[in-house]
Amino acid sequence: MSQAFDVLVIGGGPGGYIAAIRAAQLGFKVACAESNAYDDPKGEPRLGGTCLNVGCIPSKALLASSEEFEKIGHHAADHGIKVSSVSIDSKKMVSRKDDIVTKMTGGIQYLFRKNKITLLKGHASFEGKGADGYQVKIDGKDKETVSAKNVIIATGSKARHLPGLSVDNVLICDNEGALKFDSVPKKLGVIGAGVIGLELGSVWRRLGSEVTVLEALPSFLAACDVSIAKEAQKLFVKQGLNINMGVKIGDVKADKKGVVVNYTDSAGKAAKLECDRLIVSVGRVPNTDKLGLDKIGLKVDERGFIPIDDHTCATSAPGVYAVGDVVRGPMLAHKAEDEGVLAAEVIAGQKPHIDYNCIPWVIYTDPEIAWVGKTEQALKEAGVAYKAGQFPFAANGRALGMGRADGFIKVLADAKTDEILGVHIIGPNASDLIAEAAVAMEFKAAAEDIARICHPHPSLSEVMREAALATDQRALNM
Ligand code: FAD
């Protein structure tokens, strides 16, 4: 007899594995199907999805290594520390990253055992609906058809590739190849100045690559607040990133000598980029291939996403939910996790809620960029009367002591009610500092609330307080 579950989760990424754990906590009999072995030596499907295997975690491990390298090589002297020579062992750096990934995927396996979640190893696809729920075929190391009363689709996304450009993940790489370079390329090309392109470009620039970024859009980091994007572009160019906006990519050739990208620059002039390796980071597409959605009457939208109810993540098939990168909204691991928890709780009859306006965004460049809520340009466009307060890290003792004084925090608050509408950071530890703003916005705090709360001294968080005070021209240290 086939196995029957209350909840089957398809995909073991942050959306899927968290949904499985929450559903198990709520007392359901749960299974989670995962097909991708990533680089597992035994070819065993690995949990953690894109985030853990080829995304957030490995990229941050490499970022940390490259930061250490840059600190020792370039900033140690400012502290009076003399270092005679610094070199990088890229293989060691990559194997450290692999060890972290292996440890963490093992951690999720442990959590599955602890929560009595059945891992189904293989590609899952719908076969239809029977008396005991949805019939889902598992095809891989496990071969069986299981049934489930509820299904949470958390199949994530994969890198978008440009037509006519073949990614071999050696010379021309997407995120997967770019996370396992075995040596530092002398010249690195990056197509796409989005989050992933800038993060990976920054890693290899710090390690000594000459990095050129080609971007089709005319404006840099268009999703960010304009003033943050401007500051970021200025700082990245100063650090040595060659950023070319408004280009049109032509043909790309790769051979033993390297890669040549022909493109038209923003002035319409033909140009050529010669590099040793090329990273293509032009967005991601949802994974819905061979999922058998048609067998349960589901269709994807024009961009390939599974349509859902905005409040419950329910699809139009009763008992089928979809979360994470495979549905609308920001492609962020923490958004996927929160939707996974929400779907499990909706199945349990609870009434969870996600305020998408309070989801923080982070770009792990140096300095980091992070924001939550509305940008200044969005408020202007919507005709909202607001006030802005900005404070630089250069006026903060802790930032100066750390030698990390670039950037600023900007707080946007409603002109009448003082409610915080958006917070934008470019500066050290922005990824941690933004959490205070997210909490404040979830609680509908006013700028005055942050301004009145005692912040530790000396700390980077004082910049948040000063920016909140600055919305009323009351910054104390400027
Ligand atoms: P995924 O993590 O993509 O997981 C989906 C899983 O489902 C995959 O393992 C896939 O193999 C499996 N699957 C697909 N189809 C099937 C099927 N039919 N049967 C069985 N299994 C299936 N986000 C952040 O928030 N912070 C970051 O710092 C960050 N850095 C990133 C860096 C890079 C280089 C990349 C590429 C992404 C980064 N992201 C980051 C984005 C983040 O990784 C994704 O938003 C997140 O992984 C989405 O989670 P998910 O569970 O929806 O999908």
Ligand 1 nearest atom to the CA of residue 158, by list position: 3
**Main-chain dihedrals φ then ψ at residue 152, nearest 5 degrees:** -110, 115
Answer yes or no: is 172 within a domain. no
Q: In this structure, are 144 and 12 located in the same domain?
A: yes
CATH number at residue 37: 3.50.50.60
User: Rounded CA gap, 158 and 68, in Å?
Assistant: 30
Ligand 1 centroid – CA 103 distance (Å): 18
Q: Is the CB of 154 under 6 A from ligand 1?
A: yes
This model of the complex carries an ipTM of 0.99
Q: Is the CB of 18 under 6 A from ligand 1?
A: no
**Predicted pLDDT at 182:** 87
Q: From the annotation, which residues make up the binding site?
A: 60, 155-157, 192-199, 215, 283, 325, 331-334
Q: In this structure, are 423 and 305 located in the same domain?
A: no
Paired sense of beta strands 172-173 and 118-121, if any: unpaired
Q: In this structure, are 204 and 295 located in the same domain?
A: no
Residues in the chain, total: 478
Q: In this structure, are 312 and 424 located in the same domain?
A: no
User: Rounded CA gap, 19 and 7, in Å?
Assistant: 10
Q: In this structure, are 441 and 298 located in the same domain?
A: no
Q: Is the CB of 396 under 6 A from ligand 1?
A: no
What six digits make up the tokens of 353? 């809620």
User: Rounded CA gap, 341 and 359, in Å?
Assistant: 15
User: Rounded CA gap, 245 and 192, in Å?
Assistant: 9
Domain boundaries, position 414: 361-471
Task: Using a cut of 0.95, tell me whether the model's pTM lies above it.
Answer: yes
Letter string b/e over residues 346-360, b meaning 16 or more CB atoms within 10 A of that residue's CB: bbbeeebebeeebbb
Q: Is the CB of 324 under 6 A from ligand 1?
A: yes
**Predicted pLDDT at 74:** 86
Crossing angle of helices 14-25 and 90-114, in 10° steps, is 20
Q: In this structure, are 334 and 237 located in the same domain?
A: no
Question: What's the 3-state SS for 123-182?
Answer: EEEEEEEECCEEEEEEECCCEEEEEEEEEEECCCEEECCCCCCCCCCCCEECHHHHCCCC
CB under 8 Å to 452, separation ≥6 — which residues? none
Pocket test of ligand 1: the residue of 32, 46, 56 to mutate, having most ligand atoms within 8 Å of its CB, is 56
Q: In this structure, are 277 and 311 located in the same domain?
A: no
Ligand 1 nearest atom to the CA of residue 290, by list position: 18
Per-residue pLDDT tens, the chain, 478 aa: give them. Answer: 689 999 999 999 999 999 999 999 999 999 999 999 998 999 999 999 999 999 999 999 999 999 999 999 988 999 999 998 899 999 999 999 999 999 999 999 999 999 999 999 999 999 999 998 999 999 999 999 999 999 999 999 999 999 989 999 999 999 999 999 989 999 999 999 999 999 999 999 999 999 999 999 999 999 999 999 999 999 999 999 999 999 999 999 999 889 999 999 999 999 999 999 999 999 999 999 999 999 999 999 999 999 999 999 999 999 999 999 999 999 999 999 999 999 999 999 999 999 999 999 999 999 999 999 999 999 999 999 999 999 999 999 999 999 999 999 999 999 999 999 999 999 999 999 999 999 999 999 999 999 999 999 999 999 999 999 999 999 999 9
Q: In this structure, are 139 and 201 located in the same domain?
A: no
**Predicted pLDDT at 256:** 87
User: Rounded CA gap, 11 and 53, in Å?
Assistant: 13
- The count of structural domains within the chain is 3
Pocket test of ligand 1: the residue of 36, 40, 51, 108 to mutate, having most ligand atoms within 8 Å of its CB, is 51
Ligand 1 centroid – CA 121 distance (Å): 17
Q: In this structure, are 135 and 77 located in the same domain?
A: yes
| Cα angle for residues 386, 389, 390 (degrees, 5° grid) | 140
| Residue 161 annotated among the catalytic residues of the structure | no
**Main-chain dihedrals φ then ψ at residue 78, nearest 5 degrees:** -60, -25
Answer yes or no: is 442 within a domain. yes
**Predicted pLDDT at 1:** 67
Answer yes or no: is 257 within a domain. yes
Q: Is the CB of 14 under 6 A from ligand 1?
A: yes
Contact 220, 232 (CB under 8 A): yes
Strands (E), 296-378: 320-322, 361-363, 368-373
Q: In this structure, are 341 and 367 located in the same domain?
A: no
